[in-house]
Structure 1
Amino acid sequence: MFSGIRFYSTRSKPEVDLKKLRPMILKRIEERAKEYPVKGMLTVAREVLQARTALYDGVSTLSQRIPIWACKYCPEVYIGEGGHLIQTCHGYRHHAKNKVHSWVKGNMNDVIVPVQTFHLQKMFQNVVKHHERFDYDRIPAVVELCLQAGADDNDQRVSSSVDTPDGFGINTADRVSLSDDDLRLVATRTLRAWETLRSGVHKLLFVYPARVCKHCSEVHVGPSGHKARMCGVFKYESWRGTHFWEKARVDDLVPPKLVWFRRRQDPPILVDKGREYYGRAPAVVDLCSKAGALVPSKYFCMMKMDGLTAPD
């Protein structure tokens, strides 16, 4: 006796008439659009915009006192006196391998990586075609997410976020003359804004869809990705194809930009032979910690705060 064997019918299933289903699908999308924006998420969107403005203001202030270094040939960034000697440079097109970095003065975009996206008039609209890519403005992805969450276009927080604020509260002379206590206070506010920004974006992504390309850094805020054939441009590739979309995460909209973190037990200049012992940290967290802010304990593991020192 054969038990547990199922016999399935070999008769073909009736074909689905997509022409009849199309009006039903479009009506369902239209009905779904009436549920947005979600009123309960409007407060979160406003908090995210405020945190983003405070973050840029704080990083701009701290960068006047704490050196930021960027590699001339790759995206590596280091925060502190002089660059490190860890051999992780791969050059423009990854042609080089394990070279020492060539350090130049960095800026705020090296600490807070800008992520741009197409600005849509409404969340549920026709997909952006390739020939329409120049008809839409490009704005920060976080701002677009907040706009789709119900933030007002005429709000001062939106306009300042679109323009990427640069220390509007403190002029350059006052930043340089800040005392250590004032600098520590700015660093604490900046680190709090960083945490508020990331947690707020995390909450918004539960309600509002966003997409990221699997093969490049392109982000699209909306229920489906656009059709602009730009894949490869952001990685300096020689071809331009359509994006392969998948669900976006917080790190896609707010990249942490990990940097090597120098601990108390580490040498003044980090060397290559100790790279297995050194910790890593988001650039904003490292910048704020060097200004005196207390780092949240959730970063201790990746920063290897109490780890062993590298052998001589």
Structure 2
Amino acid sequence: MNARNLRLWQKSSLILEQVLIGSRFYSTKSNPTVDLRKLRPVILKRIEERAKEYPVRGMLPLAHEVLQARTALYDGVSTLIHHIPIWACKYCSEVYIGEGGHLIRTCHGFHRHAKNKVHSWVKANTNNVVIPVETFHLQKMFQDVIKHHERFDYDRVPAIVELCLQAGADSNHQNGLEKNNNILNSLSEDELRFVATQTLRAWEALRSGVHRLLFVYPARVCKHCSEVHVGPSGHKARMCGVFKYQSFRGAHFWEKAKVDDLVPPNMVWSRRRQDPQILVDKGREYYGHAPAVVDLCSKAGALVPSKYFCMMKLDGLTAPN
């Protein structure tokens, strides 16, 4: 070993010695074990004290605004689908807004066993555009976790409505949806554009309001399926069966829910002016996407916010012939 390597070895040894001297080692035997039975009353007391802080009075107007936006959204979509052709695949969840459906081979069948099949189109309804998400209705936000055998003792309500109810909204708005009995059979171009604009505003207000409510009121979503639970912890109803090796009614794996979990955007292929009348499979890399509500409102004449331009590829190239 030459002199240079010897000095480097001595220097590294000195640094290692200083690190070991400065470190402290603790023995687990000297630390007392934690008795969870003694901590349980303390934890329960903190939960009860936390429950007194809810609902937050400052969020009550926002909860009412979200319910109103949801009602306006459903009313607008139910009106527009009578004037704009909307199609849903008979065998999968694909939706298309336009004349006659598209020819893009993305059908995967009922149980996702098929692959790259042509869709079989049927007339769509409101639930194909605005995907309904339901959850258990709780009497109070901080209550005992719902057991599997108790799953039929609780009503299922829309997740957005449950979020607003826990935020203090009036229980009379539990349904959160008024039936629109005044659907016009014929609308002028200006009237249709007005309905589309109001519907798009309701969509943006709904998503923005839910996003703000989730900062205050917790919600959970299963990592493996679309089940949503509004509350500080998920339920224990065994209804998850996403994997082949997992039996039906398996336990959910809960994580923090986001806006897209309560208000799914339901992305659809969006036909641009430079695209052919019927979208074909070979041009799928050139076509854009958009949330179903946004694409529906744009087809009815509403101005689309600029944040959707990128995904819609409005100024993108057209597919080669």
Q: Which category of TM-score, normalised to the shorter sequence, fits these structures?
A: over 0.9
Indicate which of 99, 116, 137 corresponds to 1:98: 116
CA distance in 1, matches of 2:168, 2:174: 15
Q: Secondary structure at the match of 1:207?
A: coil
Which residue number corresponds to residue 82 of structure 1? Answer: 100
Which residue number corresponds to residue 6 of structure 2? Answer: none
Q: Is the 8 A contact 2:107 2:117 kept in 1?
A: yes
Please give the TM-score of this superposition, normalised by the length of structure 1: 0.94
The answer to whether residue 220 in structure 2 is matched with residue 220 in structure 1 is no
CA distance in 2, matches of 1:240, 1:153: 31
Q: Aligned runs of 1:168-207 on 2, under 5 Å?
A: 168=181, 170-171=182-183, 175-207=184-216
Report how far residue 152 of structure 1 moved. Answer: 1.0
Which residue number corresponds to residue 291 of structure 1? Answer: 300
Higher relative contact order (CA 8 A, sep 6+): 1
User: 1:158-215: per-residue Cα shift (whole Å, max 9, x none)?
Assistant: 1451xx43424x23xxx22111100100000000000000000000000000000000
The answer to whether residue 154 in structure 2 is matched with residue 136 in structure 1 is yes
Which residue number corresponds to residue 8 of structure 2? Answer: none
Q: Is the 8 A contact 1:233 1:240 kept in 2?
A: no
Which residue number corresponds to residue 116 of structure 1? Answer: 134
CA distance in 2, matches of 1:165, 1:284: 19
Report how far residue 134 of structure 1 moved. Answer: 0.2
CA distance in 2, matches of 1:278, 1:193: 26
- Which has the larger displacement, 198-207 or 176-185? 176-185
Report how far residue 96 of structure 1 moved. Answer: 1.2
Q: Is the 8 A contact 2:75 2:180 kept in 1?
A: yes
Residue 10 of structure 1 aligns to which amino acid in structure 2? S
Q: Aligned runs of 1:1-312 on 2, under 5 Å?
A: 1=14, 2-5=17-20, 6-12=23-29, 13-154=31-172, 158-161=173-176, 164-168=177-181, 170-171=182-183, 175-232=184-241, 239-312=248-321
Q: Is the 8 A contact 2:161 2:174 kept in 1?
A: no
CA distance in 2, matches of 1:261, 1:285: 10
Write out the 4+ residue segments of structure 1 that deviate beyond 6 Å after TM superposition: none
Report how far residue 238 of structure 1 moved. Answer: 5.4
Residue 3 of structure 1 aligns to which amino acid in structure 2? Q
Residue 57 of structure 1 aligns to which amino acid in structure 2? D
CA distance in 2, matches of 1:234, 1:3: 53
- Larger CA Rg, structure 1 vs 2: 2
Q: Secondary structure at the match of 1:194?
A: helix
Q: Secondary structure at the match of 1:28?
A: helix
RMSD, aligned CA: 1.5
Please give the TM-score of this superposition, normalised by the length of structure 2: 0.91
CA distance in 2, matches of 1:87, 1:238: 31
User: 1:265-287: per-residue Cα shift (whole Å, max 9, x none)?
Assistant: 00000000000000000000000
Q: Secondary structure at the match of 1:49?
A: helix
Residue 119 of structure 2 aligns to which amino acid in structure 1? H
